[in-house]
Structure 1
């Protein structure tokens, strides 16, 4: 049994005629008939009822048809995968990154991918997470680094960071220790704009508890939010690791915010081989970064 026999068998089954099947596969009718007959001999059963004017499948033929189609599809997928790997010598990848989030391992992954596949043109652009997710869904981006409250529905993703939100305040601020959302609502808030992962987590938590915070100012970069809070213009809402970058601010745990803020890489199911290779590079870069941070942690303490 070989793929050619399966191809001819499927063609006859779908055309219900040996002559039309022969025209479809571009060989003589006698060639199609001979190969189908050989397949029947190997299987030990007739696949077609040849007594009618059309080629009708027998019970054995109907049982074999689905598997023959699957075998041909699998063989085609093998060829496509190899072709796509070869195609990595050319083409382009569109990558998105959430605004104000310079994550070194992502840049390491892009550099490693570029060294391995220099013929692939890489493009990188910033936007808020909601738009990045939409662009990945609709094919405008191949993959994106996003901030989110949950894995995007209908997309593949892996989480890089999962951590709580904190309220960051300058020295001497009246808030201290753990603070509730209701306590926060008594103060102006400085946070990221709608469409970002941090803002989505914060808004959802407030809505669940019927809290309506006063959003005094918004900024897309953590440094800008911290600077505004430092100047007394509002309480900064940041992730735990973001707040740690500003030691002159005190990070206060927020009670009532149960969902973590996530940083994730996301891409479409069935992405190209090039995109999947870049995802692999991202996984490795972030794993290496995490391992390196873990090894340094005892020294840092």
Structure 2
């Protein structure tokens, strides 16, 4: 069945006249007549009953008109959806980011993107760097924001920022008066750190704990925001990335290390830009623009 013929048929029924349908569709009257004749021949039924100069829709024609409306509306919706996806105004985006960059740097970007692209179905997850890289490689995520993935994953990595570790403490802690913290300052303290699979924990072990001969005890906590609350309630310190948003005015401060420079590179991880939808590319560009 020719979709153009169905569109012509629908116009003829809706307008009640072949001539009016020809004018609306900008066809010659003979073209309308020919398309209806071909459609009737294809279906093997008469869609119109001729009564002198009048043309009346047959029973088969009335049924076909209802079905044609559904089909034509569906096709119109399909065309619009495909157009939206191609322009980045539709489709889906699945990505993940590690904390605290997800909340401290990406929340506003994602919110603005959703406002400007309301038809895009966006899923943002928060996870660890290794898990993000594995899921990007498996095709479960379009892209991720994490540390440099293993070379074995064969993923592209675009650096965005370098983050430094610091020491979070209460504003009334004795160390809070110092501009920076030496490893020896932590001797005898209880230190809140992330779980072993966290990239910041790995960085802590590589650059701080292994180079320090001063004894201190560690407590593993699975969330930076829980560390934030525990530091606030207890007279201990936490090892966190240096983000002003993690501090609390009058309550918590973060001080950099004095005798070492623990840094981790974070960036965008993806398999191949050629496989990404326009919406994903636009969101990636928005993320780059703020870093």
Please state which band the TM-score falls in when normalised by the shorter chain: 0.5 to 0.7
Q: Which has the greater radius of gyration?
A: 2
Contact in 2 for aligned 1:226/1:236 (Cα 8 Å): yes
- Identify the residue that residue 123 of structure 1 maps to in structure 2: 123
Aligned residues: 201
| Contact 1:169–1:235 (CA under 8 A) maintained in structure 2 | yes
Shift of 1:205: 0.6
Alpha carbons of structure 1 residues 257 and 131: separation in structure 2 relative to 1, 3 Å: farther
Gap change, CA 1:136 and 1:217, over 3 Å in 2: same
Shift of 1:106: 4.1
Inter-partner Cα distance in structure 2 for 1:240 and 1:110: 26
Shift of 1:130: 1.9
Mapped to 2, the partners of 1:130 and 1:180 lie a distance apart of: 30
Counterparts of 1:12-161 in structure 2, within 5 Å, are 86=86, 92-99=92-99, 101-102=102-103, 103-108=106-111, 110-111=113-114, 114-115=117-118, 118=119, 121-146=121-146, 148=147, 150=148, 153=151, 154-161=154-161
2:231 counterpart of 1:229: yes
1:187-198, aligned counterparts within 5 Å?
A: 187-198=189-200
1:273-298 Cα shifts (integer Å, max 9, x gaps): 31x652443323452x46xxxxxxxx
Structure 1 residue 143, shift from structure 2 partner: 0.8
1:253 counterpart = 2:256: yes
Provide the C-alpha distance between the structure 2 equivalents of 1:189 and 1:181, rounded to a whole number of angstroms. Answer: 12
Other-structure match for 1:214: 217
Say if 1:141 and 1:183 are closer, same or farther in 2 by CA, change over 3 A: same
SS at match of 2:161: strand
Per-residue displacement from partner, 1:145-199 (whole Å, max 9, x unpaired)?
A: 22x3x46544223333323211111133232522222432531111222322322
Structure 1 residue runs without a partner (length 5+): 1-84, 291-301
Using the alignment, how far apart are the partners of 2:204 and 2:223 within structure 1? 15
Q: Is the 8 A contact 1:162 1:262 kept in 2?
A: yes
Match of 2:206 among 187, 204, 207: 204
| Counterpart Cα distance in 2 of 1:224 and 1:129 | 19
Residue 131 of structure 1 deviates from its aligned partner by 1.0
- Shift, 1:240, TM fit: 1.6
Write out per-residue CA displacement over residues 100-125 of structure 1, whole angstroms, 9 at most, x where no aligned residue: 5322244146526844xx3x643332
In 2, Cα distance between the equivalents of 1:127 and 1:225? Answer: 17
The offset of 1:238, in angstroms, is: 1.6
Q: Does the 8 A contact of 2:99 with 2:126 survive in 1?
A: yes
Conserved in 2, the CA contact under 8 Å of 1:96 and 1:127? yes
Q: 1:231 to 1:158 in 2, by over 3 A?
A: same
SS in 2 for 1:257: coil
- Shift of the alpha carbon at 1:219? 3.1
Q: Deviations over 1:30-67 (max 9, x none)?
A: xxxxxxxxxxxxxxxxxxxxxxxxxxxxxxxxxxxxxx
* Distance in 1 (alpha carbons) for counterparts of 2:112 and 2:137: 22
Q: What is the TM-score of this pair, normalised by structure 2?
A: 0.56
Of 211-220 and 183-192, deviating more is 211-220
Structure 1 residues 206 and 259, CA, compared in 2 at 3 Å: closer, same or farther?
A: closer
Are the counterparts in 2 of residues 106 and 282 from structure 1 also a CA contact under 8 Å? no
Matches of 1:173 and 1:225, distance apart in 2? 16
- 1:164 is paired with a residue whose SS is strand
- The separation in 2 between residues aligned to 1:87 and 1:284, in whole angstroms, is 15
State the distance in 2 between where 1:109 and 1:278 align: 14
Q: Does the CA contact (< 8 Å) of 2:170 and 2:235 recur in 1? A: no
